[in-house]
């Protein structure tokens, strides 16, 4: 099949699923609805595999012209290259697993067909985002995923207890994303102004041909793009929406708020690498924002008691890690972590979903414990996920994290030291989560214990596949000291087939340092494992109650009071300003001023006293009469002229 | 082509003489007939050539170009949708409403096709009559102050415009569109600035621009739903059309250079001011009125830039605004009709009882948020882009509409539809209401996917402004 046709099909399939389920899904049996939604994404995945196989440089597929604006033509055109195909594989691959999982997870939900309609729409938007060959199509998808995210976070808006919180979380996510979007918008305006096009390749080529375009403009453009990235990828200062977004059903957290949408900011930066390379100052900012985010979020995760909140802060922290890599210009390293993170974070979220499903919607780990025996498959896979993210040797997370640490050590040892702290915290909160959930005694009461069950096949199968990927994902990009020939496959793949990317920015440390780094990282991860085993796995070990926590624990549990600070600094002033402008300025001054003026005019004319008989019809009469007289006079007058 | 003007007038007279018992069918059928007729005319219309025609009157001649045709189609479609949207409301059983709305249509088509500045003015004034009477007869103005404010404001604008029209005709001794375009007004100096100012005052009141907007929220809330739709979806577009077709090309040069940035700044203030006020409003209609102030500020600012690329996208946004205004005010009207309140604090939980309404209101909310695949996505993007290119800070400030819009629209929707509820019954959508929502949605998506069909069509009749 021709490549352009394949690409169109990949895009069209989720759209077809969206349209069918959105229109007649309510009347179809659930199996058909879920089956259709899952299979369109899965077939798209298979098609993406054929693209991957036949990958040969960069290919542009132009569909139609959207708008011709002042000599600027905006096309709906798409790009097949190593980067876009890789992202497509992640989106459709993990996407179809999560669709399958949802068929079990959402089986009792009355909004079943709606859920799959939104999921398919999300996949479509996300594919637009990564497949577009210009920033406009990217922006299309960018806004589209934001909308889907809103719909899915607030999916259970009718829930009796949590409905209000769910819809508020959705609103918060949408608004914070919109702040980032405004940044993207301005960035695109500047790009249009500078280059007269939004096509990635044309901008890149123009930059190579005309290095004079560097400088201040590039700084502003890249800063705007990075603001957009902080919104979608939940970085400081726009990160607070992501933990709240856990209000959405768990498959949504896995797909959108861990594996795909939140990596859009990373994708945008990698895609725009030729711009960022010309703006070293922006890269510096990215580095420090990423560093701060990874540290702060890891700290917040230490004392969360909601199983999904721990994972959410962990996601923010891991995304920060990826931005650190981007700050060093190690684009392929960041994308490698995107990939492995997608595997193990989707696994962890689906695992937590399986736990929540089995626990009948309980999310508080203080009420769990000892689930290892009750849910053996979930337990085993969750353990793998935990080990992968904690950096236990030879699992996928070990390799991708090690690459980032190596970059840091090479460029800036201080950054490396801070990263080690963050990585250690990651291992701590993850093992705390794991042991409190699966070991010790069950703390949820006998009634609940009797009902806890392992999930069905449609839920465990995707988890098993993801566990497999989490174990072996590291093989994609083995470090050079293991297998020289097969090493760095992923780096080669991406940089050979993506515009602007090359491996020169990746630091390659010497043999001894590399080995030393790995051993050091392994010792940390394993050390934390044994420490947590001693501390949390004991029978009866329990997360502390709120009033027993020390100062730092309270700070972590209360997320450093960031939400409260934002409320005080931004939300309340805006509301106060709105009330003030509306009540005082608009009504008191402007509107009443007009009344006063009108009354003044009416009253000064003594004659009008008797006209003021309070009947509007008489005002109307005089007014219309006046107009008619005026108009007839002029019609007559001009008719006489001619 | 003359029928395009005469049909609404004839139907209006007919409606006046037919009994009230059949009047809602009369309104629906006649507006549909006019719409069909105009669409048929479109098929044989050549957008590159202006079509001239008259009604046998020497003084007032007409011409149809692609810009006017777009507005006429918009008018005819909106009038039909207003009849359809109100199909199960009491107002359409009153033949006064039917006749006046059709008379309004006549006036609007007249405005959009007039070939002389005098004709433009006459039809402009003519549209006031039906609007006033609809507000007076069917509005809920418990205090006459609100209606009086609208009267006085509009009167002020009309007088200013009348003076300018007279002045323009006297000084140039011309009144046809082409002759006025050819006239060189730069030599008038300050007089030209004053003349343009008269038009701008009338338009600023009608659009409305900050600070001439105070009539808007009050009038919208007191008007019947159908009246609010007429005002927001059509009447304020008269002013934008006047800017695009008449004022900017005629006064390009000294006068436009003088007024351009003051008006853009007023538009910019309106964008932020309207959005900020909308955030805390409790009344759905007031909230949408201020949202409209915000949206219209952006369109007006874009038009004032005076370059055709921007004007084309402004036209897209004008049509989009009509779609959004119709949809949102219909939604507010539906809430008001069912529950007798529009107060957000008294609303909530409707989604549970009326899922179809929840769905369509959500769709319209997203259309007003300019999400991808809707006309607003393209329109807003390029309007903001033009402002940004003209003056970066203006573009940046205007872009806050993206964020603030999400704040007030999502609040309006969620506080109405979600949350706990004291409401026990809420009749879900009538077929007529669903049809309106569906037509609006299809239109927004169609224009969002192929904005070219509109922008290119309109582009044919935009003149290059004199430097």
> CA B464 from chain center: how many Å?
24
Q: Report the residue of B223, B347, B385, B457 to disrupt the A interface, i.e. the one with the largest count of A CBs within 10 Å.
A: B385
- Tell if the CB–CB gap between A140 and B377 is shorter than 8 Å: yes
HSE-up of residue A589 (Cα within 13 Å, Cβ side): 7
**Contact between A8 and A124 (Cβ < 8 Å):** no
Q: Once rounded to an integer, what is the mean pLDDT over residues A381-395?
A: 93
What distance in Å separates the CA atoms of residue B411 and residue B403, rounded to the nearest whole number?
A: 13
Average pLDDT over residues B391-414: 93
Short-list A199, A82, A69, CA closest to A132: A199
Which chain B residues are Cβ-neighbours of A144 within 8 angstroms? 371-373
Mind listing the pLDDT tens digit for each residue in A161-180? 888 888 999 999 999 999 99
Kindly report the nearest CA distance between residue B154 and chain A, in angstroms. Answer: 11
Judge if A612 and A600 occupy the same domain.
no
Taking contacts as CB-CB distances below 8 angstroms, the residues of chain B near A147 are 366, 371-372
pLDDT of residue B210: 87
Q: Which two tokens stand for residue B332?
A: 């507010």
- Provide the pLDDT for residue B424: 79
Mutate to test the interface with B, among A621, A623, A626 (most CBs of B within 10 A): A623
How far is the C-alpha of A131 from the C-alpha of A139, rounded, in Å?
11
| Secondary-structure breakdown of chain B: helix, strand, coil percentages, each rounded to the nearest 5 | 80, 5, 20
Q: Is the pLDDT of residue A260 over 70?
A: yes
Nearest to B451 among A66, A181, A627 (CB): A66
Q: What is the rounded CA–CA span in Å between residue B28 and residue A255?
A: 48
A21 interaction partners in chain B (CB closer than 8 Å) = none
Distance from CA of B33 to the nearest CA of A (A): 30
The phi and psi torsions of A66 (rounded to 5 degrees) equal -85, -50
Cβ–Cβ under 8 Å, residues B439 and B322: no
Residues A244, A250, A252, A258: is their CA dihedral positive or negative? positive
* 3-class state of residue B372 by DSSP: coil
Confidence class for position A456, pLDDT limits 50, 70, 90 = confident
Residue A575 lies in a domain: yes
Q: Do B59 and A635 touch (CB under 8 A)?
A: yes
Q: Which structure tokens are listed for A47? A: 């098609």
Q: B378–A67: do the CB atoms touch at under 8 Å?
A: yes
Per the CB < 8 Å rule, is A147 touching B366? yes
DSSP string, B29-66: HHHHHHHHHHHHHHHT--TTS-EEEE-S-SS-EEEE-H
Asked if the structure places residue A573 within a domain, the reply is yes
Picking from A372-376, A633-637, B245-249, which range would have the lowest pLDDT averaged per residue? Answer: A633-637
CA triple A642-B5-B11, angle to 5 deg: 130
- Cβ pair B373:A144 closer than 8 A: yes
- Same-domain status, A570 and A594: yes
Which of B280, B403, B450 comes nearest A575 by C-beta? B280
User: Does ipTM top 0.85?
Assistant: yes
The residue-averaged pLDDT of A176-198 equals: 93
- Co-location of A616 and A592 in the same domain: no
In Å, how far from its chain's centre is CA A491? Answer: 24
| pLDDT of A491 | 87
Q: What does the pLDDT read at residue A618? A: 58
Dihedral sign for Cα atoms in the order A553, A558, A562, A565: negative
Tell me the mean pLDDT in the region A192-205: 90
> Tell me, what's the pLDDT at A606?
43
Which of B148, B385, B396 is opposite residue A598, by nearest beta carbon?
B148
Band of pLDDT at residue B365, cut at 50, 70 and 90: very high
What pairs with residue B52 in β-bridges? B63
Q: How far apart are the first and last CA of chain B?
A: 34
Q: What is the spatial distance between Cα B389 and Cα B394, in angstroms, rounded to a whole number?
A: 9
Mutate to test the interface with B, among A66, A69, A163, A594 (most CBs of B within 10 A): A69
Please tell me the distance from the alpha carbon of residue B86 to that of residue B81, in angstroms, as a whole number.
8
Non-local (6+) Cβ contacts of A628 within 8 A are none
- DSSP per-residue string spanning A225-293: HHHHHHHHTT-TTS-THHHHGGGS-HHHHHIIIIISGGGHHHHHHHHTHHHHTT-HHHHHHHHHHHHHH
* Tokens 């404001």 found at: B153
Chain A residues with CB under 8 Å of B351 CB are: 157-158
Q: Report CA dihedral (B446, B104, B141, A581) to the nearest 10 degrees.
A: 50
Considering only CB atoms, which chain A residues are within 8 Å of B144? Answer: 614, 616
Supply the range of the domain harboring residue A587: 558-604
Give which of B139, B212, B406 to mutate to test A binding, by max A Cβ within 10 Å.
B406
Q: What is the number of other CB atoms lying within 10 angstroms of the CB of residue A450?
A: 8
3 state SS of A145: helix
- Inspect the interface and report whether the beta carbons of A167 and B147 lie closer than 8 Å: no
Q: Do B279 and A578 touch (CB under 8 A)?
A: yes
The mean per-residue pLDDT over the stretch A365-377 comes to 88
pLDDT at residue number B238: 95
Q: Are B369 and B402 in contact (CB under 8 A)?
A: no
B-chain residue closest to A635, CA distance: B59
User: How many whole angstroms separate alpha carbon A276 and alpha carbon A298?
Assistant: 27
Query: Which chain B residue has its CA at the smallest distance from A624's CA?
Result: B129
Grade residue A360 by pLDDT with cuts at 50, 70 and 90: confident
Which among B136, B351, B450 is the nearest to A617, CB-wise?
A: B136
Is A389 within 8 Å of A344 (Cβ atoms)? Answer: yes
How big is the A-B interface in CB pairs under 8 Å? 169
List the helix and strand counts (H, then E) for chain B.
22, 2
Closest by CA to A243, choosing from A298, A313, A156, is: A313
- Average pLDDT, integer, range A361-388: 90
Radius of gyration of chain B (CA): 21
Q: Residue A642 has what pLDDT?
A: 47
Name the residue of chain A whose CA is nearest to B137's CA. A617
Residue in A68, A143, A171 closest to B372 by CB: A143
Q: Do A581 and B410 touch (CB under 8 A)?
A: no
- Considering only CA atoms, give the Rg of chain A: 29
Torsion over CA of A239, A240, A243 and A246, rounded to 10 degrees? -100
- What value, to the nearest 5°, has the Cα angle with vertex B349 and ends B348 and B355? 130
Q: Do residue A158 and residue B371 have CB atoms under 8 angstroms apart?
A: no
Is-contact B102 B30, C-beta < 8 A?
yes
Taking 50 as the threshold, does the pLDDT of residue A545 lie above it?
Answer: yes
Chain B residues within 8 A of A578 when measuring between CB atoms? 276-280
Which of chain B's residues have a Cβ under 8 Å away from the Cβ of A15? none
Q: Which residues contact A259 (CB under 8 A, 6 or more apart)?
A: A90, A94, A98, A341, A342, A345, A346
Give the pLDDT band (50/70/90) at residue A482: low
In this predicted structure, what is the pLDDT of residue B420? Answer: 79
pLDDT tens column, B255-314: 999 999 999 999 999 999 999 999 999 999 999 999 999 999 999 999 999 999 999 999
Of A140, A168, A619, the CB nearest to B372: A140
Indicate the residue of B59, B384, B402 with minimum beta-carbon distance to A178: B402
Please check whether residue A46 lies inside any domain of the structure.
no
Q: Residue A453 in 3-state DSSP?
A: coil
Query: Across-strand partners of B61?
Result: B54
Asked if residue A284 is part of any domain, the answer here is no
pLDDT of residue A542: 64
CB contact under 8 A, B214 and A575: no
A584 within domain boundaries: yes
pLDDT(A549) > 80: no
What's the first-to-final CA gap in chain A, in angstroms? 73
pLDDT at B143: 56
Average pLDDT on B334-340 reads 91
Token duo for residue A526 = 């394993």
Residues 6+ apart with CB under 8 A from A608: A602
- In this prediction, residue A142 carries a pLDDT of 95
Angle CA(A194)–CA(A196)–CA(A201) in degrees, nearest 5? 95
Number of Cβ within 10 Å of residue A144's Cβ equals 22
Task: Please answer yes or no on whether A620 and B395 come within 8 Å at the CB atom.
Answer: no
A375: helix, coil or strand? coil
b/e sequence B94-133, b meaning 16+ C-beta within 10 Å: bbbbbbbbbbbbbbbbbbbbbbbbbbbbbbbbbbbbbbbb
CA distance A10 to chain B (A): 19
Report the alpha-carbon distance of residue B136 to residue A216 in Å, rounded.
59
Task: Verify whether the Cβ–Cβ distance A578 to B414 is below 8 Å.
Answer: no
The answer as to whether A562 is a domain residue is yes
Residue range B44-75, pLDDT digits in tens: 999 888 889 887 776 678 999 999 999 999 99
Q: Give residue A321's pLDDT band: very low, low, confident or very high (50, 70, 90).
A: very high
pLDDT at A162: 83
Residue B84 has pLDDT above 90, yes or no: yes
Nearest to A189 among B128, B313, B395 (CB): B395
Distance CA B390, CA B264 (A): 11
B228: left (phi over 0), alpha (psi -120 to 50) or beta: alpha
A158 and B402 in contact by Cβ < 8 A?
no
- In angstroms, the separation between the Cα of residue B256 and the nearest Cα of chain A is 21
Residue A298 CA: distances (Å) to CA of A248, A321, A428, A450, A541: 22, 11, 9, 35, 22
SS (H, E, C) B376-435: HHHHHHHHHHHHHHHCHHHHHHHCHHHHHHHHHHHHHHHHHHCCCCCCCCCCCCCHHHHH
- Nearest-Cα distance to chain B for A179, in Å, is 6
**Residues whose CB falls within 8 Å of the CB of residue A248, separated by 6 or more in sequence, listed in order:** A152, A153, A154, A155, A166, A169, A170, A256, A257
Res. A349 pLDDT band, cuts 50 70 90 = very high
* A581 within domain boundaries: yes
Percent of chain B exceeding pLDDT 90 equals: 64
pLDDT digits (tens, 9 = 90+) for A265-319: 999 999 999 999 888 999 999 999 999 999 999 999 998 989 999 999 999 999 9
Looking at the DSSP bridge assignments, the partners of residue A73 are A68
Q: Searching chain A, which residue's CA lies closest to the CA of residue B382?
A: A69
Say yes or no for a CB contact (<8 Å) between B418 and A163. yes
| Chain A residues within 8 A of B158 when measuring between CB atoms | 627
Residue A592: which pLDDT band, with cuts at 50, 70 and 90? confident
Please check the confidence at residue B155 and state whether its pLDDT lies above 90: no
Residues of A in contact with B169 (CB under 8 A): 638
pLDDT reported for residue A69: 80
> How close does chain A come to B276, measured CA to CA in Å?
5
For chain A, the domain total comes to 2
* Cβ(A448)–Cβ(A362) below 8 Å: yes
Which pLDDT band holds residue A630 (cuts at 50, 70, 90)?
low
Residue of A nearest to B141 (CA): A616
Q: How far apart are CA A488 and CA A508, in angstroms?
A: 11
Tell me, what's the pLDDT at A513?
83
Q: Are B101 and B130 in contact (CB under 8 A)?
A: yes
Best of A72, A129, A157, A179 to disrupt the B interface (most B CBs within 10 Å) is A157
Residue B371 has pLDDT above 70, yes or no: yes
Residue of A nearest to B121 (CA): A631
Q: Choosing among A634, A639, A640, which should be mutated to test the B contact, i.e. which has the most B CBs within 10 A?
A: A634
Pair of tokens at residue A356: 């929540």
In a domain, A637, yes or no: yes
> Could you tell me the two tokens for B57?
């009157």
In DSSP notation, B117-145 reads HHHHHHHHHHHHHHHHHHHHHH---SSHH
């Amino acid at each position: 099949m021709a490549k352009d046709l394949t690409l169109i099909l990949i895009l069209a399939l989720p759209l077809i699923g969206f349209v069918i389920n959105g229109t007649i899904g309510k009347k179809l049996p659930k199996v058909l609805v879920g089956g259709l939604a899952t299979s369109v994404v899965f077939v798209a995945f298979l098609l993406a595999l054929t693209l991957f196989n036949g990958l040969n440089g960069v290919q542009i597929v132009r569909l139609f012209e959207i708008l011709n604006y002042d000599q600027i033509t905006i096309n709906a055109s798409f790009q097949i290259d190593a980067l876009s195909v890789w992202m497509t594989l992640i989106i459709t691959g993990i996407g179809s697993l999560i669709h399958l999982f949802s068929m079990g997870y959402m089986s009792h939900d009355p909004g079943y067909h709606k859920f799959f309609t939104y999921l398919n729409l999300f996949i479509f938007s996300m594919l637009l985002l990564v497949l577009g060959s210009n920033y406009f199509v990217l922006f299309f998808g960018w806004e589209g995923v934001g909308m889907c995210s809103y719909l899915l976070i607030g999916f259970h808006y009718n829930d009796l207890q949590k409905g209000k919180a769910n819809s508020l979380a959705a609103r918060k996510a949408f608004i914070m994303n919109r702040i980032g979007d405004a940044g993207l918008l301005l960035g695109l305006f500047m790009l249009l102004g500078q280059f007269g096009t939004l096509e990635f390749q044309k901008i890149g080529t123009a930059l190579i041909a005309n290095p004079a375009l560097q400088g201040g403009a590039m700084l502003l453009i890249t800063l705007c793009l990075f603001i957009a990235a902080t919104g979608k990828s939940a970085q400081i200062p726009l990160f607070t929406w992501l933990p709240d977004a856990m209000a959405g059903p768990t498959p949504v957290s896995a797909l959108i708020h861990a594996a795909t949408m939140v990596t859009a900011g990373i994708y945008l930066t990698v895609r725009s690498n030729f711009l960022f390379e010309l703006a070293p100052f922006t890269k510096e900012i990215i580095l420090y924002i990423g560093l701060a985010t990874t540290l702060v979020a890891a700290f917040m995760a230490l004392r969360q008691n909601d199983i999904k909140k721990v994972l959410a802060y962990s996601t923010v922290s891991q995304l920060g890690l990826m931005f650190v890599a981007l700050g060093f210009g190690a684009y392929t390293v960041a994308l490698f972590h995107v990939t492995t993170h997608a595997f193990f974070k989707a696994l962890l979220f689906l695992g937590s979903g399986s736990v929540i499903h089995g626990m009948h919607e309980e999310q508080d780990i203080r009420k769990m414990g000892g689930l290892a025996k009750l849910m053996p498959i979930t337990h085993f896979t969750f353990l793998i996920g935990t080990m992968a993210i904690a950096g236990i040797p030879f699992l996928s997370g070990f390799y991708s994290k090690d690459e980032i640490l190596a970059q840091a050590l090479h460029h800036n040892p201080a950054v490396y030291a801070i990263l080690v702290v963050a990585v250690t915290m990651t291992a701590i909160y993850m093992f705390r989560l794991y042991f409190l959930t699966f070991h010790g005694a069950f703390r949820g009461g006998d009634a609940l214990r009797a009902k806890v069950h392992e999930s069905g096949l449609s839920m465990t199968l995707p988890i098993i596949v993801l566990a497999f990927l989490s174990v072996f994902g590291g093989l994609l990009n083995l470090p050079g000291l293991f297998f020289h020939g097969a090493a760095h496959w992923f780096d080669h793949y991406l940089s050979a087939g993506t515009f602007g990317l090359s491996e020169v920015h990746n630091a390659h440390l010497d043999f001894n340092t590399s080995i030393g780094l790995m051993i050091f990282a392994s010792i940390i991860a394993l050390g934390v494992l044994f420490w947590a085993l001693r501390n949390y796995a004991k029978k009866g070990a329990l997360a502390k109650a709120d009033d027993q926590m020390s100062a730092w624990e309270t700070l972590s549990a209360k997320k450093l009071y960031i939400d409260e600070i934002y409320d005080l600094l931004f939300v309340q002033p805006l509301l106060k300003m709105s009330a003030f402008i509306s009540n005082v300025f608009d009504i008191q001054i402007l509107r009443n001023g007009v009344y006063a003026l009108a009354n003044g005019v009416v009253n000064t004319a003594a004659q009008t006293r008797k006209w003021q008989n309070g009947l509007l019809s008489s005002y109307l009469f005089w007014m219309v009469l006046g107009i008619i007289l005026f108009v007839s006079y002029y019609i007559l007058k001009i008719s006489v002229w001619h | 082509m003359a029928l395009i003007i005469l049909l609404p007038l004839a139907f209006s007279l007919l409606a006046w003489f037919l009994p009230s018992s059949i009047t809602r069918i009369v309104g629906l059928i006649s507006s549909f007939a006019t719409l069909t007729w105009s669409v048929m005319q479109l098929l044989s219309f050549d957008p590159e050539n202006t079509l001239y025609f008259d009604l046998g009157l020497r003084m007032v001649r007409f011409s149809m170009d692609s810009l006017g045709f777009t507005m006429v189609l918009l008018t005819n479609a909106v009038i039909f949708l207003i009849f359809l949207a109100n199909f199960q409301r009491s107002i359409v059983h009153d033949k006064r409403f039917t006749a006046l709305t059709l008379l309004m249509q006549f006036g609007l088509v007249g405005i959009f096709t007039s070939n002389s500045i005098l004709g433009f003015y006459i039809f402009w004034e003519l549209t006031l009559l039906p609007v006033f009477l609809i507000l007076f007869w069917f509005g809920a103005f418990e205090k006459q102050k609100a209606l009086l404010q609208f009267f006085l404001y509009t009167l002020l604008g009309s007088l200013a415009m009348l003076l300018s029209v007279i002045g323009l005709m006297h000084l140039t001794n011309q009144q046809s569109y082409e002759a006025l375009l050819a006239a060189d007004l730069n030599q008038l100096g300050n007089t030209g600035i004053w003349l343009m100012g008269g038009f701008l005052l009338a338009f600023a009141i009608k659009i409305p621009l900050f600070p001439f907007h105070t009539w808007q929220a009050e009038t919208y809330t007191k008007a019947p739903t159908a009246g609010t739709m007429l005002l927001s979806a059509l009447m304020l577009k008269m002013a934008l059309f006047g800017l695009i077709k008449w004022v900017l090309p005629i006064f390009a040069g000294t006068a436009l250079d003088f007024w351009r940035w003051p008006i853009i700044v007023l538009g910019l203030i309106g964008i932020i001011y309207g959005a900020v006020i909308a955030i805390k409003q409790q009344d759905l209609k007031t909230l949408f009125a201020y949202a409209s102030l915000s949206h219209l500020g952006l369109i007006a600012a874009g038009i004032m830039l005076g370059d055709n690329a921007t004007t084309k996208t402004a036209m897209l946004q004008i049509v989009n605004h009509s779609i959004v205004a119709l949809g949102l005010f219909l939604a507010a009207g539906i809430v008001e009709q069912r529950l007798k309140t529009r107060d957000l604090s008294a609303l909530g939980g409707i989604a549970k009882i009326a899922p179809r309404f929840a769905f369509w209101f959500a769709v319209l909310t997203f259309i007003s948020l300019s999400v991808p695949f809707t006309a607003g996505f393209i329109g807003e993007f390029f309007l903001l882009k033009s402002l940004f290119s003209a003056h970066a800070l203006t573009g940046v400030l205007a872009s806050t509409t993206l964020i603030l819009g999400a704040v007030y629209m999502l609040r309006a929707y969620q506080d109405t539809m979600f949350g706990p509820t004291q409401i026990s019954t809420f009749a879900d959508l009538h077929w007529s209401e669903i049809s309106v929502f569906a037509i609006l949605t299809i239109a927004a998506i169609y224009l969002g996917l192929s904005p070219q069909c509109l922008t290119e069509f309109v582009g044919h009749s935009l003149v290059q402004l004199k430097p």
